[in-house]
A and B are shown apart, each in its own frame.
Chain A
Amino acid sequence: MNNEQIFTYFGHNTVYKYSGSLSELKEIQESTNNSFNYIIVSDVIYFVAIDPVLDSKAQLIMGE
């Protein structure tokens, strides 16, 4: 999947690319009470969340 396909998959919501591990991401989301959905494409985690995410490993790649 390319970025555009990922953006479409997530319904054109704000998509982040995460450079850490899945367990790290879950820990951050749970500590901030921020539900999220994710996919893993070629071992890279892309996710969307209910609230904006502020983390150095979360790079906003699509959306606002």
Chain B
Amino acid sequence: MYAKLVVGSTGIPAVQAMRDIVRLCTSNTPTTALLGAFSTSSSVIIDSNPAGWTYVGSNNANDRPTVAAIGVSGFTASGSQCNLVLSAPCLESSALKYVALSTSFIGTQSATTNLFTMTGATSATSLGVLTNEGPRYFSPAANGANDTLTVALRVAANDVVHVIATPRGITIVNEGRGMQAVWEMSMSDVNRFYNTAPFVQYCHATSSNFTAETIIIPTSTSGVLTRTMMSAVFGVTDVNTGTFYGTYSPGNIVSNLPTLNIGSLFQTANNLRNNSINSIGAPRYQVTPVFLQIGALGHPIQSVTGTTNVYWTRPNAGFTGDSMLISGDVYTFFNCGSGYGIALKTS
């Protein structure tokens, strides 16, 4: 499923945007009729193949047992946030992948409180109680003070959000700004032994910023965060010590820069893929498969690409929506800002 969602001239409360996205990802027939916040006239469902995700629940009573209907008011409880939780099966593991969309602002939702995040978790209940949720940011302060926040997805005026969802993962791209994703990866023998779901959460909401937050669990701050990258793998055991980590960052983060044993997951500099040439000197783009290794815990390399159909590209390799031929297969290019782009198969 691929939906190009357009905000329009007025920002959207984050919870309303989250509801629209969840309706699309859990519908057998995704259409713009499911949109209550994004513009129905400007938004387009480009690939209407069902995404294959199932709604689990929410910590907000209005969003149980189903997502609130279009027109139901936004989440108004102060001092808390709203989450919407989804699940999907894995190719091999019997364990499910869980994804939560969460508002990034505590308090009454309005057209200016338009930041939200996407995280993974090892399990969830219909009441939105999450076990081992991946890292995300939330702010107790007025959202207006954090408009330049780099670590969350944004649905402010004129923003465009691309949602690409298959049973293997969900990718949300803020056009020209950044992306967040939860991607299934290849199963390792460690996953098989412990029967855990192999998936990674990757947050890079502002791709022009290559520093990483070291938070591994949801945390809050009244200040503006200046770093943008966060990532986690879920339910991993150090096979040499027996230590179990509910969430674990797949990159050694030293001085806010992710390094070591990360494969290609963390994008650490602007445009790592300059154009190349073929054997007769004709120009061609480079793309990179996504993979990582939690080598410090005794886990082998695990490839995202090949399970979830995604490649990293150079920034501005085309316009979002352009087709890319990669090893004989057609992918769609998405502009994630000045840092890089991604190519995805949308179903």
Contacts and interface: CB of A to CB of B under 8 A. Distances in A.
A35 B215 contact: no
Contacts, number: 54
Interface residues of B, number: 21
A46 to B, nearest CB: 10
Interface stretch (B129-137, B172-180, B277-285): B129-137
Interface string B233-246: 00000000011111
Contacts of B214: 11
**Secondary structure call for the B interface:** loop
Contacts of B148: none
Contacts of A26: 131
Contacts of A11: 214-217, 219
Contact of B132 (A9, A13, A38, A42): A38
Nearest to A49: B217
Interface residues on A, range: 20 to 34
A33 interface: yes
B131 A39 contact: no
B87 interface: no
Contacts of B222: none
B217 A37 contact: yes
B129 A35 contact: yes
Interface string A14-41: 0000000000001001100111111111
Interface of A: 1, 9-11, 13, 26, 29-30, 33-43, 48, 50
